[in-house]
Amino acid sequence: MTTFELLAIPSELTWHTLPKHWKVEQERNLAITAGEITDLFTDPRGNFSINNAPKALFTPLSDNFVLGASVTVDFQATFDAGILLLYENDETWAKLCFEFSPQRQPMVVSVVNRGVCDDCNSTPIEGNQVYLRVARIAPTFAFHYSTDRQFWHLVRYFGLGELHNLRIGFSTQSPTGYGCTAVFSEIAYDAKSLKDLRNGQ
């Protein structure tokens, strides 16, 4: 498996599915290009399951943590997305996405998978950049987004059950298109617990 480092991340990242292309810029920013028809999704109706989106993951060094980044996406096709990912195994994971909706509107979307997906569209965003953040307040998790990194909005508060091999990191997808590039910048990791889930502080 290919590994690499980012200055803001306390341990090596490992590719669990290789992207079409990737690049680390100035040891701080990560650009990931997913290939065509790439996704991480298990249809609740049981019609299909796909798990070929590129995933760059690392093991958090503490039970509680906050991982955030500015996510800029080159939107082309429906469901193109840049993603912050929590990943225990193929059956247990959650992703916070900056995704292109069928209405051709960038949107914050969250998906929690416990065997099958629980998928929820959240907030439309103007432009192709937003701040995303995932936090663990053991044994639970919270997803937030922000347009200015000052005020955070709660997207989802949830649990994933008993975990033994949790990894977190970055992903990109292009389920209906020919590829998608997402750039993760202003990456920040902190081994802390949020005090207030509702306002993200």
**Proportion of the chain above pLDDT 90, given as a percent:** 91
Q: pTM value?
A: 0.96
Rg (C-alpha) for the chain, rounded Å, is 15
More reliable by pLDDT, 101 or 1: 101
Determine contact, residues 155/96, Cβ cutoff 8 Å: yes
Name the helix (H) or strand (E) containing 51: strand 49-51
What pLDDT is stored for residue 48 in this prediction? Answer: 86
What pLDDT is stored for residue 193 in this prediction? Answer: 87
pLDDT in tens, 91-150: 999 999 999 999 999 999 999 999 999 999 999 999 999 999 999 999 999 999 999 998
State the virtual CA torsion across 57, 1, 4, 70 in degrees, nearest 10: -30
Cα 107 from chain centre: 13
Determine contact, residues 83/171, Cβ cutoff 8 Å: yes
Q: Amino acid letter at 49?
A: S
Residues ≥6 apart with Cβ < 8 Å to 193: 64, 135, 136, 137, 138
Q: What 3-state DSSP class applies to 130?
A: strand
pLDDT in tens, 33-57: 999 999 999 999 988 899 999 999 9
What pLDDT is stored for residue 200 in this prediction? Answer: 66
The average confidence (pLDDT) of the chain is: 95
**Proportion of the chain above pLDDT 70, given as a percent:** 98
User: How wide is the angle at C-alpha 88 spanned by C-alphas 87 and 89, nearest 5°?
Assistant: 100
DSSP string for residues in 18-44: --SEEEEETTTEEEEEE-SSB-EEE-T
Q: How does residue 1 score in pLDDT terms, banded at 50, 70 and 90?
A: low
Cis bond before residue 60 (omega within 30° of 0)? no
CATH number attached to the domain at 3-190: 2.60.120.200
| Alpha-carbon span 120 to 198, nearest angstrom | 18
